[in-house]
Amino acid sequence: MLTEVKSPGLLDRVLRRFDLMSLYFALIFGAYGAAQMTAEGWAGIPMLILAAVTFLLPTALAAYELGTLFPGEGGIYIWTHKALGPVHGFISGWLSWVPIFFLLPLGASTIVAHVELVLGIKLSLSANILLQSGVIIAITIISCIKLVFSQRYINWMFFVSFATAVIVFGVALYSGKHATPVDASLFDFNVLKHGAMYSAAILWLLGVEVPFNMGDEIKDHKKSAGFMLLVGTLALMFAYIIGIAGVLLLLPAGSINAVTGVTDAVKSISPFLGLAVGVMICFAVSSQDVAYMNAYSRLLFVSGLEKRMPPVMSYLTSKKVPVAAILVQCVGGILVVVFFTTQQNLAATFQLYIASLIVVWVVSLFYLMIALPLIRKKFAQKYQDNDSVWRIPGRSAIMWLVVILGFFFNFVAIYYVFANPFTADISAAEWRRWLISMVVVVILAGLAIFFIGEKLNHGELDESAQQ
């Protein structure tokens, strides 16, 4: 592939173990996610654990193996290209990249909601749009300075983000409150009963494969990625669980704000500490958006190298930052903010965005599961010749178990997204119609971009891109 020929040397290998782990944590852990996992009381914890075992674990194992076998810039784009060819390679990368336009506005709106809470104000529509746009612009500026600088920011915010969960749990223990009494649902792993919560847990565990987008910037893939997946997963699961428990102990289930619930919970005991947590969440979420901006821009960058998108996407500044790709994400995020905040049915629109994010992202992960067995067969010799490759233990039997689990629970996650609306503000039929339409438009747009790129290049890409 062209990206394997061109990108090495263009980007600095600066991501070490802790850098990669904090990037992984930032991409997946939402400092406010614990509040969203309390919708069905204590059932959020077993559904989170179930999602980690059935969804996160298979995805992590597959990404770890493929990421060490083909450690170049682009991640899933490269892996699928190797297994299924350029069309599917581009579409998998496209589906993996599109969520950036849901994630940036989600982070910006969360920050603004906490700013309103901390300052005790209610912004007008125009002020809300301007502030959200300002947040995205600030994220863009941080991301454009230099990877070492923006990564250092993410590293520091790891401790801030983790601390928000520790504080809410510590406050709950100190207060002795049991606003939501512990009940049998804490041990209820029945996904048929809590399907919506399972899909929500999937949302808050998405992103395992995203750090591999920055393959050419990672030092020692095998050791760094292993540390990232082990320590990062333990950290985010611990933070989610104590965060959920802290919020439920301090506030009654059913009355918890899905966005500001963590801050509200702490504030119910200590107004000053609650406001401090609100400020901390603003910084933590901003670092999450910086992680999104950096990692996702690499998919645009390699698409530019591969001539699937305009070559300007592969432009690097003197600091080796793909600034054109980052700016495209910035503009797209602001446009989505404007569209989103001006909708009459704001609750339904917001939930449709969340649902679309889950579906599009999970669909891209089907490619990961398809690629794994195909690549094992196609590149068997490469496994034998490369000691730096990590292989899922247990020969083919465990590999197929990973693939089957990945496929099955990806379908389960998508099924429950379509099964019932996430809000009562829209009918089930209208919910499914809009959701299908949005997903189909995303896929068709990706296909259109690919074939337009092919036509503009007259199909004359380097031979290496066809290998």
**CATH code of the domain containing 278:** 1.20.1740.10
Cβ atoms of 197 and 9 closer than 8 Å:
no
- Give 380-431 as a DSSP string: HHHHHH-TT----SSHHHHHHHHHHHHHHHHHHHHHHHHHS-SSTTS-HHHH
Tokens at 292, concatenated? 């999104």
DSSP string, 257-289: -TTTHHHHHHHTT-HHHHHHHHHHHHHHHHHHH
Q: Whole-angstrom Cα distance, residue 162 to residue 43?
A: 22
What integer pLDDT is reported at residue 7 of this predicted model?
Answer: 66
What backbone phi and psi angles, to 5 degrees, belong to 33? -65, -30
Q: Which pair of tokens denotes residue 151? A: 């990564």
Tokens 């996407």 identify what position?
Answer: 313
How far apart are the C-alpha atoms of 262 and 117, rounded to whole Å?
12
What is the number of structural domains in the chain? 1
- Beta-ladder partners of 218: 15
Q: What's phi and psi for 12, nearest 5 deg?
A: -80, 140
Task: Characterise 317 by phi-psi region: left (phi > 0), alpha (psi -120 to 50), beta (else).
Answer: beta
Q: Which positions ≥6 away from 9 have C-beta within 8 Å?
A: none
Question: CA 113, CA 117: separation in Å to the nearest integer?
Answer: 6
User: 23, 83, 5: which is closest to 371 by C-alpha?
Assistant: 83
The whole-angstrom separation of Cα 188 and Cα 43 is 6
User: How many angstroms separate the first and last alpha carbons of the chain?
Assistant: 6
C-alpha distance from residue 14 to each of 18, 157, 224, 342, 374 (Å): 11, 18, 12, 41, 31
Phi, psi of 230 (to 5 degrees): -75, -60
List phi, psi (to 5°) of 15.
Answer: -85, 110
Q: What is the pLDDT along the chain (467 residues), one digit of tens a residue?
A: 666 656 666 788 889 999 999 999 999 998 788 888 998 999 999 999 999 999 999 999 999 999 999 988 889 999 999 999 988 999 999 999 998 988 998 899 899 999 999 999 998 989 989 999 999 999 999 999 999 999 999 999 999 999 999 999 999 999 999 999 999 999 999 998 988 889 889 888 999 999 999 888 888 888 999 999 999 999 999 999 999 999 999 999 988 888 899 999 999 999 999 999 999 999 999 999 999 999 999 999 988 888 888 888 888 998 899 999 999 999 999 998 888 777 666 567 777 777 888 899 999 999 999 999 999 999 988 887 778 889 998 878 999 999 999 999 999 989 988 988 877 778 889 889 988 988 888 889 888 888 887 777 655 554 444 44
Q: What is the pLDDT of residue 308?
A: 81
The model's pTM: 0.91
Report the SS3 class of residue 30: coil
The domain containing residue 82 runs over which residues? 2-466
192, containing H or E segment: none
What distances in angstroms separate CA 404 from CA 60, 84, 408, one per listed residue? 14, 19, 6
Q: Crossing angle, helix 346-378 and helix 76-84, to 10 degrees?
A: 50
| Neighbour-count burial for 259-277, b at 16+ CB within 10 Å, e otherwise | bbbbbbbbbbeeeebbbbb
Q: Which helix (H) or strand (E) holds 132?
A: helix 125-145
DSSP H helical segments within 13-56, as ranges?
17-28, 33-36, 44-51
Name the CA dihedral angle for 98, 100, 104, 105, rounded to a multiple of 10 degrees: 10
